Amino acid sequence: MDKILEGLVSSDHSVPVKRAIVKKVVEAAEREVTEDQCQALFTLTTRLILLGEDAFQKQIGFQVLEAYARYHRPEFERFFSKDFVLSLLQQGYGQLDRKDPAIIEYIHCCLRLLISCPSVLEIFGVIQVEVLRMVCERPEPAFCARLSTLLSDFVQCIPRDKSSVLFCQQLVRTISSFHCFASQEQELREYVGQVTKVSALLQSIWKADPATLLPSLQEVFAIISSTDPSFDPSIALASLVQHIPVQMITVLIKSLTTDQNVRDASMTKALCRMIDWLSWPLAQHVDTWVIALLKGLAAVQKFTILIDVTLLKIELVFSRLWYPIVRQGALAVLSHMLLSFQHSPEAFHLVRGSLDLPKPAEEKIKLVLNQSAWTSQSNSFSSGLLRQAGKSETGKTGLVNLGNTCYMNSIIQTLFMATDFRRHVLSLHLNSSNTLMKKLQLLFAFLAHTQRAAYAPRNFLEASRPPWFNVGSQQDCSEYLRFLLDRLHEEEKTLQALDSAKPKAASPTDASCKDPAGPTPAEVNGQTYDRRTLIEKLFGGKLITSIRCMQCNCISEKEEPFTDLSLAFCPSTTFQDSPQTQGPLEEPRVLCQGSVNGGSEVPEPGSASALASNAHFVPVTNEPPLSVPDLVNYFLAPEILDEDNAYFCEKCSSLQRAEKTIKVVSAPEYLILTLLRFSYDAKCHIRRKILDNVTIPPLIRLPVHDPPIPTRCSSSTSSPLQVDSPESSENLAKKLKSSQHDEEEEKARIDGAEEISRAVQSVPYVLSSVVMHSGISSESGHYYSYGCNINGADAVQQTANQFSIKEDLGNGQAEGSLCTCSAPSVSQEQGGTLHNSGQEAKDWLLFNDSRVTFTSFQSVQNITNRFPKDTAYVLMYRKQELPGQSVNGGLMASGMRLSAEPPLQKELLDAVIKDNKLYLQEQELSARTQALQAPSSSCSFRPNGSDDNNPPGSCGPSGGGGGGGGGFNTISRLVF
């Protein structure tokens, strides 16, 4: 029979004839055949299967072998013995190498025929040993794929116990040696299919024996973290990722990132090679693991690795976007890399030339950036000791208290939240690096773009601190604000003068601010330019102080610039000796304040000021609380100059009784209001604080008069910008309303006098910021501030839009109301909506030195009710441009409104990038130090508190809670 079969194979018969003969040979297997004939037949079929010249011969061999093995099982069992299998696996067959896939395919076929025989158990034992030896020899993918198919069908051949772990590790290392050099699609498909079969075998082993999974993964990491330059593992390892349970991410990443034995170079290599896995076409979850490892490294502050990996691999990741089969995973990794690499634009510049993506909304950009920054990564992968304080959820940067510097911090945050001012400062092109404006510009750049949770403004403190301020002592924030604005104004004036003195053609823009023309132009070469400083343009307004002699009705007027209005508290009607008839400008009932900003003015005995000096802390409970418009109206109310304070009239050439009035004739873009809460107690020789609650409306209307018409008796003067006008503040606490008799007398005198008619505009302002003072005296306490948040569009404008700003004359109000400051009426429904929506939209922020938290406008209004020692001190309102209305030339016409944040200039950007890198290095060093000290250290974690839980604390004499950030006098709130 064997001779017939051998002759058949080598004959020239046609294929149909050969198939017919083979069929007869297979049918003959049912008849009795001698053992020698069977052995010869098995040998022949084995040779045909393993050494056949074509597929037809191999097919004949399999058909005949299967037929005779089924009917002559004992003979086949003696032929296919463990020794024969061992020789095949160790020596091959004839000229066929032992690593040829045909060997494994033949053994696989024979095992299926022998499965019910007892001798198969011995063969399984031989195969268990040999397959472990074979994978250690790193066979080719085709051989491994055949072997995987065999082991998947006959799991008894898989090594057991300890050998099973070793087998998995060696199989992983074998996969790492798979390299494909094919260029044809069919060959590539075969290669991917072969790798898939091997990874599927590992998956089945991991499922059957979970103890083999972790050692296998450790072997994977050992391979990809190798720094041997001669070894380059195959990306075929990516095929294993999809078989790792996603639930193990947290445990595995934590183990990797906190292992002190893993060197940075090894981790960098491992992460780079994992990113290479994104090129593997069929791998799933590769992006999930890569991003998890990136976040894990950020959580333990290993920023050096992240920087190196991002710069090395971001271009490769971007190039993967061109291939649809791997695009989704590559895009996820690319997005995370770009969004988290916020300390420098270098990564973005590497791929920007090819980017053409739609621009998302600004709110979404800020939210995603804040969530993706390395310093804000979740620390779930790290131990408690490695938890570092990063930026709060607000995305805003706090300011470190450098020792009782809360007065500066609150003012800086207030100016920073003045959107137009911040944007103009950042857009300035300044040459000198030693100017105060340049230092403010750099500080604003850090507040806007640093990754630090809180920035320490040491350089700006040294440059901006008034000379009379003692280092480390408590100071007045209002005094600091005036000094700062005056310094910036005078500095710019000096630079303008130096620039104009240069022998060159005038620049078409301002030397420093480069803003369009304004209402105070200058002629240069026939062209008009605005020579006002940035402080004048945004904070500068003008007052007219008029004094009318009641004897001759001659009026003397003086024009004065201002950057803030100092609002005194008038004497309460409770302390008046006799009742007064209230006029149309009804005065608020509040307690009297003495001098301004720590002066030494002493109230006269018997005066209302003296009567009120002992009642600073006794609020009037039977009347509604004061409001900001009440104080503004009191500031603008007429004052009678009489007796010791009589006016010397030049026309009368004698002291005469006179009426003094103050009117605003030019409204600033930003209206700064300072509530003069600190009065001097002459008896105790201390400055007391007026703790009266003052209602803060979100919107106010300021009466602004047209410039005066010169008369023969009037005098008009102009002085340089002054941040503290003596005429408008020195006698504020002495203002007393005239009695009813005086009013009647004055009316009689005015009947025959010539009246000057001036148009009045009611200019709307919306609240931008509030600086609070916490404490009971000026010598101690703490400053903190509230600011309206900016989310995409101008949130200050959004706040204004939430109220209906009604025209006074159109709602039945008296025309005379234009001459008073008022707060537009807001319905209860609108007010409730604002409080609720404002809190949900997080339109307000609380700046407390290093801490920045979300709050609501309702918290701003209720702070004094909740914490009586905390009172509003400095308020900043922003002028609003109503549709169809133009005030003082119009905001848009003056060019002071910028619609977007300006890009950082190169030198500012470089400084921020340098500091961000330094910060990352500091965080990394701190994390490593803590990790080394972890066994002997302990820590506690408290979750964030709500803004409404605890009042702000006091700087105290020790300097701001130890100089670390303002401090709370209650339970500390940690911001992560």
Catalytic residue at 477? Answer: no
Report how far residue 554's alpha carbon sits from residue 714's, in angstroms, rounded to the nearest whole number: 7
110, 168, 406, 570: the active-site residue: 406
What structural domains and CATH numbers belong to the chain? Answer: 394-495+534-541+668-707+760-793+841-881 (3.90.70.10)
pLDDT at residue number 199: 94
**Residue 449: which residues within 8 A CB-CB, separation 6 or more?**
904, 909, 912, 916
pLDDT at residue number 177: 93
As separate numbers, helices (DSSP H) first and strands (DSSP E) second, the chain gives 35, 22
Own/partner pairs, 745-751, CB within 8 angstroms, 24+ separation: 746/550, 746/659, 749/550, 749/553, 750/553
Largest CA distance in the chain: 153
Report how far residue 565's alpha carbon sits from residue 874's, in angstroms, rounded to the nearest whole number: 10
pLDDT at residue number 689: 85
Contact 29, 42 (CB under 8 A): no
- Amino acid at position 269, single letter: K
pLDDT along the chain (976 residues), means of 10: 56 63 69 79 85 81 84 88 92 89 92 86 93 93 94 93 93 92 85 94 94 93 91 92 87 86 91 92 88 89 89 91 90 90 82 61 63 60 48 84 93 94 91 88 92 91 92 90 94 86 54 42 57 91 92 90 89 39 36 31 34 37 77 90 89 90 92 88 78 91 80 46 42 42 49 51 92 85 89 48 46 52 60 43 85 91 90 93 49 60 87 88 80 52 41 47 33 25
Please report the sign of the dihedral spanned by the C-alpha atoms of residue 162, residue 167, residue 172, residue 177. positive
pLDDT at residue number 61: 82
353 CB burial (10 A radius; 0-12, 13-18, 19+): exposed
pLDDT at residue number 710: 56
Catalytic residue at 554? Answer: no
Angle at 748 between CA 746 and CA 751, to 5 degrees: 110
pLDDT at residue number 128: 93
Report how far residue 237's alpha carbon sits from residue 270's, in angstroms, rounded to the nearest whole number: 12
- Backbone phi and psi for residue 704, each to the nearest 5 degrees, phi listed first: -125, 120
pLDDT at residue number 401: 93
pLDDT at residue number 808: 43
Report how far residue 665's alpha carbon sits from residue 735's, in angstroms, rounded to the nearest whole number: 21
Nearest to 860 by CA among 875, 841, 840, 881: 875
End-to-end CA distance of the chain: 85
478: three-class secondary structure by DSSP: helix
pLDDT at residue number 791: 53
Tokens encoding 659: 């009426």
- Backbone phi and psi for residue 705, each to the nearest 5 degrees, phi listed first: -95, 155
> Which pairing describes strands 694-695 and 626-627: parallel, antiparallel, or unpaired?
parallel
Tokens encoding 880: 């609003």
**pTM of structure:** 0.66
782, 788, 821, 955: the active-site residue: 782
Contact 224, 265 (CB under 8 A): no
Report how far residue 293's alpha carbon sits from residue 288's, in angstroms, rounded to the nearest whole number: 9
For the chain, the residue count is 976
Nearest to 539 by CA among 670, 637, 419: 670
Own/partner pairs, 243-248, CB within 8 angstroms, 24+ separation: 243/199, 243/200, 243/202, 243/203, 243/206, 244/213, 244/217, 244/285, 244/289, 246/285, 246/288
547: three-class secondary structure by DSSP: strand
pLDDT at residue number 75: 87
- Amino acid at position 559, single letter: E
57: three-class secondary structure by DSSP: helix
